[in-house]
Amino acid sequence: MNKNISLIITSKEDSHADLVIGKILNKSLDIEVVRLNTEDFDSNVEIEFNGDNFLVFIRDSHKKFQSSEVLSVWFRRPKEIEVSHTNDEIAAFIKAQSTALLRGLYFGTHDSSRWVNPLPNMHRSRNKFQQIQLARKLDMKIPETLTTNNPSRAIEFVKRLGKVCTKSLDEPNFLLDGHIFPMFTRLLSDQEVVENADGIKNCPTLFQEYIDKKYDLRVTVVGKDIYPVAIYSQDNDLSRVDFRGLAPGKMKREIVDIPVHLKTQILKFTYFQGLEYSAMDFVVTPDEQYVFLENNPNGQWQWVDDVTEGQISDAMIRLLSNLG
């Protein structure tokens, strides 16, 4: 059977998938793109498993395929399945059953298709502690770090280093009074840590040495291709501590060269994490030191693709076509 299906698992409002699908169609490549928007799985997807294969039909696009035909899978930005039912408990059961079936499709293609990124690897690699341990093992420079729920240790750490920041351990957002707020990296004073000792005792908190920057560096890795882009975050107060505080288009950005030894470390890092795609963040200090901050195995890249004039989306297409 011909394996020529590139399955993109995402959601309706995903401009990254729009871009890649449009470019694949324009290039007339020998692959057929199938887009599966997970939120409307209940109303838009027919699926069955016969003990050997998954058979899938997408109603709105009229695309039909078998799991054995899948060449590559891009696990982009799926959303939770939406189920319409008058009984909430029944709706929850339907959602759980549908999610289990979708997960079966995912893992049913893992051994026979190229996944960007493989789910077990992506879930593990998102962990900040694993990232820091691996970066240290590869001799990358990292900020001095402490995560603790012991207020005394936190106070001691902040007073010793003087200039310290904090960031989320996991999702960079939090829900308060029905509203979602971003949790950006922010500077802390030792007095603030003292005043919030009870909060630290209740909630483990990440503290990190704050590194003065010449600029931020986003390194996008697609397969074995590396795209380093400088982000001149220090030109604006809103982006100085965390460049996410300002829209990318409002900051100067440009492609830059990075040392060969750093490229080698980066490729080893993604290899050990088992990733095909990574969005890695570094700080470049005034004396040209490269300091690793974190890696997002499913980070947004379209704003970087604009700077590279489409090189990242082209590299992603090569991966999905099994050419990269």
Per the domain annotation, does 136 fall within a domain? no
Residue after which a domain boundary falls, among 70, 99, 116: 116
Residue 107, both tokens:
């893992």
264 and 187 part of one domain: no
Q: What string of H, E and C letters represents the secondary structure of 40-54?
A: HHHHHEEEEECCCCE
- What pLDDT was estimated at residue 1? 63
Per the domain annotation, does 127 fall within a domain? no
Per the domain annotation, does 272 fall within a domain? yes
- What pLDDT was estimated at residue 147? 97
266 and 287 part of one domain: yes
Which whole number is the average pLDDT over 23-45? 93
Q: Is 305 exposed, middle or buried (0-12, 13-18, 19+ CB in 10 A)?
A: buried
Which whole number is the average pLDDT over 267-272? 98
261 and 289 part of one domain: yes
17 and 105 part of one domain: yes
Per the domain annotation, does 105 fall within a domain? yes
- What pLDDT was estimated at residue 225? 97
DSSP reduced 3-state for 305: helix
10 and 112 part of one domain: yes
217 and 289 part of one domain: yes
CATH of the domain at 252: 3.30.470.20
* Residue 279: count of CB within 10 angstroms of its CB: 20
108 and 152 part of one domain: no
CA–CA–CA angle 256, 259, 261 (5° rounding): 145
CATH of the domain at 46: 3.40.50
pLDDT higher than threshold 70 for residue 281: yes
Lowest mean pLDDT among 66-70, 194-198, 253-257: 194-198
What's the CA gap between 234 and 246, in Å, rounded? 11
pLDDT higher than threshold 80 for residue 323: no
189 and 266 part of one domain: no
CATH of the domain at 190: 3.30.1490
216 and 201 part of one domain: no
- What pLDDT was estimated at residue 324? 67
Entry pTM: 0.93
One DSSP character per residue, 30-91 reads: S-EEEEEEGGGHHHHEEEEE-SS-EEEEETTTTEEEEGGGEEEEEE----PPP---SSHHHH
Which whole number is the average pLDDT over 17-29? 92
Per-residue pLDDT reduced to its tens digit, 74-132? 999 999 999 988 899 999 999 999 999 999 999 999 999 999 999 999 999 999 999 99
Which whole number is the average pLDDT over 243-265? 95
Per the domain annotation, does 195 fall within a domain? yes
175 and 163 part of one domain: yes
309 and 229 part of one domain: yes
Per the domain annotation, does 88 fall within a domain? yes
Residue after which a domain boundary falls, among 62, 97, 116: 116
Provide the pairing of β-strand 5-10 with 70-75.
parallel
Per the domain annotation, does 126 fall within a domain? no
32 half-sphere exposure, CB direction, 13 A CA radius: 13
Q: Which residue range(s) make up the domain with 200?
A: 144-209
Per the domain annotation, does 135 fall within a domain? no
DSSP reduced 3-state for 265: helix
163 and 235 part of one domain: no
Confidence of residue 177 (pLDDT cuts 50, 70, 90): low
Lowest mean pLDDT among 110-114, 181-185, 192-196, 295-299: 181-185
Give the type of residue at 314: D
pLDDT higher than threshold 90 for residue 27: no
Residue after which a domain boundary falls, among 209, 236, 259: 209
Per-residue pLDDT reduced to its tens digit, 129-176? 999 999 999 999 999 999 999 999 999 999 999 999 999 988 666 666
177 φψ region: left (φ > 0), alpha (ψ -120 to 50), beta (else) = left
Total domains present in the chain:
3
